[in-house]
Structure 1
Amino acid sequence: MLRGFTTINYYVDDVAKAAAWYAEFLGIEPYFIRPTSQDPAYIEFRVGDSQDELALISSRYRPEGYLVGQPAGAVMYWHVDDVPATVARLVDLGATQLEPPTQRGDEGWVTATVADPFGNVLGLMYSPHYLELLDRTRAQA
């Protein structure tokens, strides 16, 4: 049984360059670096309300058969409060828009996807469900 999201790994050829790009976008520094900050092969950021882990891992550890040379992978959607503004910021930082902000139904859902400069797909979503769960969790605390 799946119990919850733990870490998402994005494979990159230059971990230090990708870490600088994500630090700029996220507005935070990574909290975990291995083996060293001078020659990183793996870096993690803690992101968002649940402190989810976004990891950058050297592409030399990419599983055999992994698609290389174009945006690929499962789409992990991150909740954001303003999808169009987030897409615009990512594009300004060098990402490529794959799917424009798209309204899904009439209940407030909006999704978009971009590829980071390293070929990884980032899903962005405004999710009323996410906000309801967050409110419920905070009320119980």
Structure 2
Amino acid sequence: MSLRGFATLTLWADDVAAATAWYAEFLGTEAYFLRPGPDGRPAYTEFRIGDYQAEMGIIDRRYAPPGPAVPGGAVMHWHVDDLDATVRRLLAMGATEHQPITPHGDEGFVTASVVDPFGNVLGVMNNPHYLDVLSSSKPA
């Protein structure tokens, strides 16, 4: 068995409705799925985004595994076309810097990450490999 591809990224929020609205504004699209919790408030919402319609879900933090609710762990980086503009927009929307824009070598790989207003790390990057794979998967 091997990892076949990114399937779903889950983020946590105390206020799923507020997090969904924030991400809808950032992404420029509405969540396509909503599941209410027993109290009627949104417990889970999901977006499909990007070239491969990747799933990004927002789950009510009350369903999170036990442990501190602090940013950390693995960071998933999304390829973006304009890294500087994306980071500026995220910061203007209330995210805070987690890792500044950081080049990695001289081949065009550049990363940055922010902490969204709900405590999740969101990574963004310029990734030449992603663009190569994307261009090779499109019909000529």
TM-score range, shorter chain: over 0.9
Query: 1:79–1:126: 8 Å Cα contact kept in structure 2?
Result: yes
Structure-2 residue corresponding to 1:94:
94
Aligned residue in 1 for 2:30: 29
Alignment partner of 1:51 out of 50, 53, 57: 53
User: 1:72: how far off?
Assistant: 2.2
Q: 1:16 matched to which residue of 2?
A: 17
Q: How does 1:75-86 map to 2 (within 5 A)?
A: 75-86=75-86
TM-score of the superposed pair, with normalisation by structure 1 = 0.92
Question: What stretches of structure 1 of length at least 5 have no aligned partner?
Answer: none
Distance 1:127 1:31 in 2: 27
Stretches of 4+ aligned residues off by more than 3 angstroms: none
Q: How far apart in 2 are the matches of 1:104 and 1:74? A: 18
Residue 3 of structure 1 deviates from its aligned partner by 1.2
TM-score, with structure 2 as normaliser: 0.93
Gaps of 5+ in 2: none
Deviations 1:42-93 (A, max 9, x none): 000001000001110000100123x31x322320010001111111000000
How far apart are the structure 1 equivalents of 2:24 and 2:107?
32
Aligned with residue 41 of structure 2, among 23, 39, 42: 39
Alignment partners' CA distance in 2, 1:49 and 1:24: 18
In the alignment, the residues of structure 1 paired with residue 3 and residue 129 of structure 2 have an alpha-carbon distance, to the nearest angstrom, of: 19
Residue 31 of structure 1 deviates from its aligned partner by 0.4
The aligned residue for residue 125 of structure 1 is 125
SS state at 2:139 partner: helix
User: 1:72–1:119: 8 Å Cα contact kept in structure 2?
Assistant: no
SS in 2 for 1:114: strand
The offset of 1:139, in angstroms, is 3.0
- Count, aligned residues: 137
